[in-house]
Amino acid sequence: MEKGKMIYEGKAKKVFKTDDPQQFLVEFKDDATAFDGVKKDKLEDKGILNNRLSAIFFGLLETEGVETHYVKTVSEREMLVKSLEIIPVEVIVRNIAAGSMSKRLGLPEGEALNKTVIEFSLKDDELHDPMINHYHIYAMDLAKAEEMATIEASALKINDILTAYLKDKGITLVDFKLEFGRHQGRVILGDEISPDTCRFWDSSSGEKLDKDRFRRDLGGVIEAYREVLRRLEGSE
């Protein structure tokens, strides 16, 4: 497998072509950003931890019958993935009110929701990822109705799988963000699943084990990511 031209560089990852048009290589960086890139830092080894954690979560989902873009881990910072045409819609799944939802709706952070909430935002940094709904998605032709049906069913299934798995490790899955893409006519899960894109709270102490430690200057960011990995690997 040859590492080819870089085709995308985001805040936390780079994506490269390979000699196989059906596969890309994803490289996880140590850069951390928040508030649309206003707050920036390098967190040593974050890329290594997120590569490992994403591989574990994608592997679990595949075992449970959810197709993801994950193919295999090729180095400590790189994974081989199926090439995707990313659908520019961020899919947010929430079990407990936190972050922007708490602010927007005046719900205290930590309040359990009676029903899982799915939200969508347009993946566009310049516009600050504005929240959108199905009408916008179809009006802008971002995805077809059948694709959105697949995405929503998959997001709820992923929530069930991850919630149960993490509960066992003493971690509460508060909310998370997913991205999907098209590969050979199918819509499958892409991007990453890591403490950068999920809120993980210790089930007994409520301690935050995710990127909120960086966003809110709580310290111990990498230690928290390591703790999540320790819990997941500890029982494999």
Q: Which of 128, 169, 132, 170 is nearest to 37 (CA)?
A: 128
Tokens of 28: 């996880």
DSSP 107-132: PPTTPEEEEEEEEEEE--GGGT--EE
Residues in the interface with ligand UDP (CB under 6 A) total 14
Q: Which of 53, 81, 89, 92 forms a contact with ligand UDP (CB under 6 A)?
A: 92
Q: Which of 190, 192, 188 is nearest to 210 (CA)?
A: 192
The minimum distance between CB 119 and ligand UDP, in angstroms, equals 7
From the number of C-beta atoms within 10 Å of its C-beta (0-12, 13-18, 19+), residue 7 rates as: exposed
Which x/- pattern, by CB under 6 A, does the window 43-62 give for ligand UDP? --------------------
Angle CA(163)–CA(205)–CA(166) in degrees, nearest 5?
Answer: 15
CB 207 within 8 A of CB 31: no
- Sole window of 64-72, 76-84, 90-98, 182-190 interacting with ligand UDP (rule: CB under 6 A): 90-98
Stretch of 133-141, 142-150, 171-179, 226-234 contacting ligand UDP, by CB under 6 A:
171-179
Q: How far is the CB of 102 from ligand UDP (least distance, A)?
A: 8
Taking CB under 6 A as the rule, does residue 208 contact ligand UDP? no
Q: Which is nearer to ligand UDP, 10 or 220 (CB)?
A: 10
Q: In the set 52, 82, 177, 213, which binds ligand UDP (CB under 6 A)?
A: 177
Is residue 27 near ligand UDP by the rule CB under 6 A? Answer: no
For 25-94, where are the alpha helices, taking DSSP H only? 46-63
Binding string to ligand UDP for residues 113 to 152, with x set by CB under 6 A, is what? ----------------x-----------------------
- DSSP per-residue codes, 157-170: HHHHHHHHHHHTTT
- The interface region with ligand UDP, picked from 48-56, 74-82, 191-199, 228-236 by CB under 6 A, is 191-199
Residue nearest to ligand UDP (CB): 99
DSSP, res 208: B
Instruction: Tell me: does residue 101 bind ligand UDP (CB under 6 A).
Output: yes
Q: How far apart are CA 165 and CA 231, in angstroms?
A: 11
- Binding residues for ligand UDP, per CB under 6 A? 90, 92, 98-101, 129, 175-177, 197-199, 211
